[in-house]
Chains A and B, each alone.
Chain A
Amino acid sequence: MLSILALTARRELLLALRRPAEIVMPPLFFLVAATLYPLAIGPDNVLLRAIAPGVLWVAALLAALLGLQRLFAADFADGTLEQALLAPHPLLLTVWAKVGAHWLLAGLPLVAVAPLLAIQYDMAPQALGVLLASLLLGTPVLSLLGALGAALALNARGGSVLLALMLAPLYIPLLILGSSAVHAEAQGLGSGAHLLLLAGLLCGTAALAPWATVAALRVALE
């Protein structure tokens, strides 16, 4: 079981590494999107510090939506997904491996880039720490729910707009918790409760979303 998980994840990572441009895309988008706000709003440090948590979280969420459509599309097109469905091991393992690889390739880079943006927005060190913690807890949720959306959109027309329309309402609780954790820390209220709720959200999504994703893939493949 574990070897299948590891092999599938390794395959995903290898495939992605062969096309490095796609790995660079989400963090680059994150940087560009978050840079646009100060240009549009004006370089007022107080204002920027106030809007930083929300802006960075929204930008991270949009960046995570970017490559999602391709998560299952290539494997669906060339029949690999069908083979995974027919294989003796459960489809759930494939989903887990893909979600894990997606998080490593699209979620973790966002966390890595976040400090750079935090400097641009003049965030306090503690607030930065909470931002990193909230992104570490939150980006896996983006990948888990994103996989569900990508699986549902497999047979659909409408592409990334449909994906955004489906996923935005599901992402909103995460967005609220993530940005308010940083807000609370910046205002000196402490962010423990928010981070615990985020961790709870992660546990709940990790328990339920892969099952729903498998169901959605079965619908697409039937």
Chain B
Amino acid sequence: MNKPSLSTGQTLIRLAAIAVVPLIVIALFLWAGGWLTPDKLTSDKLITVLQKSGGEHPGYRRNHAKGVCINGSFAANGKASVLSRAGLFAPGETPVIGRFAIAGGNPNAPDYAVPVRSMALAFYQKDGQQWRTGMNAMPMFPVKSVEGFYDLQIATLPDAKTGKPDPAKIQAFVQKHPEIKPFFGWAQQYVPSSSWASDRFNSLNAFNFVDQAGTRHVVRWSMVPHSEYQPINAADKNDSNFLQSDLQQRLAKGALQWDLIITVADAQDSSSDASIAWPADRQTINAGTLTINQTTPQQQGACNDINYDPLILPEGITASDDPILNARSSAYAKSYNARTREQAGAH
């Protein structure tokens, strides 16, 4: 090969280029992974702050740590098919594996101590697609942004001296995130029910339903209980597991049911702000009935191995522009990875 030899200067420049090209790519890679921007909010940071507020409980979810598994099915009546082409809305039954829980990261918290409860469901369509949804028994999300959620966790961390959140920090938080006022207003007057069975669970975040023609409809949904509301009573306050005992007693007598109510947004309703409840006069569609007939402790139940990621959606449902959804998805995955690793390491 007749190649001209390189001068020392040329060689040095070329060697530098050989080093610089991969180094630039490596730097970009570190930047993409968030390692070069430690101030940016990441899923790791969200999980870390949740662990701080709920304590470290290896093997458990980082939020909604205490719960039970439930089994049942969803019987669709076909009415929601005008809004969404998802298979599970066509008339027929879809099996469901779900989970009832109380909010917070402490799996040993007394049920009475936590007013907010959740219902998570995974619907299994015959074609292999799934719909997973995590719903909460409150009418609106406390904040409208991921930063707001993170700031709220920081602001409500117990003070080292008093063991209670610092009122000054909460005051500063409200100044920065005034959208939390309706939530605080609701929380002040809220009397929790005596049962998961009589709680109404709401999607809070908006989603898009996509119909046969491909048209999108902005919706939220709720599971509305058939069981009658009864306020929490004195005996409940002395039983740290009253929700689980109540559920077992009720299921021993028969199945429990909820209607899946879809609420359709009006043009002026925001799809990206879960801190605002939509007015009560919005169009609703009863999509069908959820029937729960079995409960199992979460460690032995199928729901333990399920990450109720709200962005696992079947064809016919898509995410809205609500920024909380992506953060939930990302943080749930982190939490899931951590707890499955801890569970596998524990035995």
A, B from the same assembly: no
